[in-house]
Structure 1
Amino acid sequence: MALDVKPTRSELIQLKNRIKLSERGHKLLKMKRDGLILEFFKILNEARNVRTELDAAYERSREKINLASAVNGVVEVRSTAFTAKESPAISLSGKNIMGVVVPKISSTGVRKPMYERGYGIIGTNSYIDEAADSYEDLVEKIITAAELETTMKRLLDEIEKTKRRVNALEFKVIPELTAAMKFIRFALEEMERENTFRLKRVKARMKT
């Protein structure tokens, strides 16, 4: 029985090329996904360490400020804090991790020499200096943690997008193209058999 659809060898070749392209893209996307996952876990370990350091820095800062307040009084400590001449400056840029642009946070003026903090060295004591040191360390840890956690979120989003594309190629696009190619190949073989059968009948009639 003749097929209603009359595919061509050109269509078969086009499908083969599309399958090869899809398989190559699938392989590259899997490599990208695996590379992103490795980067994510590497940064995750770093972020865990920074988070532990951040929690410790926070507790240390609370202890130092409470001790400074107990020795000097809350009003004196607050007055000293307001003498800071300059606020820290934060700048945001980007860096590339396997095609994903993630933030790079830089800071200046967070950690200051004692003479740049704005309060007089003679009028204060070491408790205030230690409190200032601990809070400068805390701010640096916060900036580092913010950079790492934002980077992790960007990488995780890209991993999910890449996984969806890998799955779409693996379970939908490539199987559908392969099925279409098999159908066209079968149809062409059927057409060839029909043509061969017709040719034999024509030759048989010519002999009679």
Structure 2
Amino acid sequence: MARMNVNPTRMVLTGLKRRLQMAKRGHKLLKDKRDELMKKFLEIVRENKALREEVEEKLMLVHSRFVMARAVMGSEIVEEALMFPKIEVNLNASTRNIMSVDVPVLEFTAEIGSEGDIYPYGLANTTAELDEAISTLSELTPKLLKLAEIEKSAQLLADEIEKTRRRVNALEYVLIPNLEETIKYIVMKLDENERSNLTRLMKVKDMMLEQAHGYGKRMQGGEGP
């Protein structure tokens, strides 16, 4: 623990005590914030894990169906069939606040054409694997956006947790011990000064008494003859 370089006066002592009280209050608030952030972070991580597993499983299914469609139809026909999509996608990005952290909120809407289906091709010249791939991918798109939202939220919360942890440690292991050590030093110096002053006053009193006693003796000696 390092002691601060300050003058050991009562005014400085009062200011340091007030600062120590504020530091302890801030330390408690930051610890509570850190604990609550950790709770929210773990909830998001669990949600992220479940959603990622579901998304990865369905993406593998979509990939395998596209591979089968390419094998049966040929790559050029698949690319031509998917050249002009029929769905218009709108994405609205906003934020929400979690423990003073602004995390993203992604809202997804899709507008299907007048024909009412999602397939941008005629069904006569395509395979069922391509239809299933398009259908699964259409269902998966909102979940992909949700996964992106959750993962970004987890990243932002992790950054805030690390910042809060550093502040808590700085208060707990640096500022508060330094303030306590400095206050202890000032109290000790003030007590030492007070004892020194008391000792000087006692010596002055003894000297005054001695002088007064000696003066009295001289007065008595002068009256005797």
TMscore range, shorter length: 0.7 to 0.9
CA contact (8 A) 2:87 2:111 kept: no
Is the partner of 1:7 in helix, strand or coil? coil
Does structure 1 residue 65 correspond to structure 2 residue 46? Answer: no
Question: What is the aligned length?
Answer: 204
Identity %: 38
Q: Which residue, 149, 159, 162 being the options, matches 1:160?
A: 162
Q: Name the SS for the 1:93 alignment partner.
A: strand
User: Please, what is the CA RMSD of the aligned residues?
Assistant: 2.5
1:175 aligned residue: 177
**2:99 counterpart of 1:98:** yes
Specify the code of the residue in structure 1 equivalent to 2:15: Q
Larger radius of gyration: 2
Deviates more, 1:120-129 or 1:149-158: 120-129
Aligned counterpart, 1:53 = 54
1:92-150 Cα shifts (integer Å, max 9, x gaps)? 21111111111112222288884354445677675443221111133223212211111
Equivalent residues of 1:110, 1:136 under 8 A apart: no
SS at 2:39's partner residue? helix
Q: Which residue of 2 aligns with 1:89?
A: 90
Instruction: Give the whole-Å Cα distance in 2 for the aligned partners of 1:131 and 1:158.
Output: 39
Query: Does residue 28 of structure 1 match 2:29?
Result: yes
* Counterpart code for 2:51: V
Q: Which moved more, 1:146-155 or 1:64-73?
A: 64-73
2:142 is aligned with 1:140: yes
Q: What stretches of structure 1 move > 6 A for 4+ residues in a row?
A: 110-113
Q: 1:105 to 1:190 in 2, by over 3 A?
A: same
TM-score with structure 2 setting the length: 0.80
Give, in angstroms, the shift of residue 85 of structure 1.
3.6
Amino acid of the structure 2 residue aligned with 1:60: L
SS in structure 2 at match of 1:109: strand
Displacement of 1:46: 0.6
Amino acid at match of 1:173: L
- Partners of 1:23 and 1:174 within 8 A in 2: yes
Residue number in structure 1 paired with 2:3: none
Question: Partners of 2:196 and 2:106 in 1: how far apart?
Answer: 71
Shift of residue 67, structure 1, vs aligned partner: 4.1
User: Where in structure 1 are there 5+ consecutive unaligned residues?
Assistant: none
* Alignment match, 1:44: 45
